[in-house]
Amino acid sequence: MTLFEAHENKKYKVITIQTQDEELRDRFLALGITKDTEIFLERFSSNKDTLAIQVHHSKIALRSSEAQHIIVEAV
């Protein structure tokens, strides 16, 4: 499932990043979102345009379009 399809207040492990966009891949790398990273999905915005996640000890806001490229599994 993608991070966009995941449920709030749950922890997930990144399986892979599915994108050919090198800039987006570099952005995820800079944010610490890589294979086998654990992500806690805190919440979606009211219209699901953005989501708040916790990676390591940092809170990060992602666009829904970005979250659709992150393949995760529940931990």
pLDDT for residue 54: 98
pLDDT in tens, 46-64: 999 999 999 999 999 999 9
pLDDT in tens, 7-31: 999 999 999 999 999 999 999 999 9
| Nearest partner of 53 among 21, 72, 24, judged by Cα | 72
Domain boundaries, the chain: 3-74
Task: Report pTM.
Answer: 0.94
Q: Are 61 and 4 a contacting pair, CB within 8 Å? A: no
Q: Are 38 and 11 a contacting pair, CB within 8 Å? A: yes
Reduced to 3 states, what is the DSSP secondary structure of residue 68? coil
CA 49-51-56 angle, 5° bins: 155
Matching CATH number, 3-74, of 3.40.190.10, 3.90.1820.10, 1.10.287.90, 2.30.30.90: 2.30.30.90
Spatial separation of the C-alpha atoms in residues 44 and 18, rounded to whole Å: 21
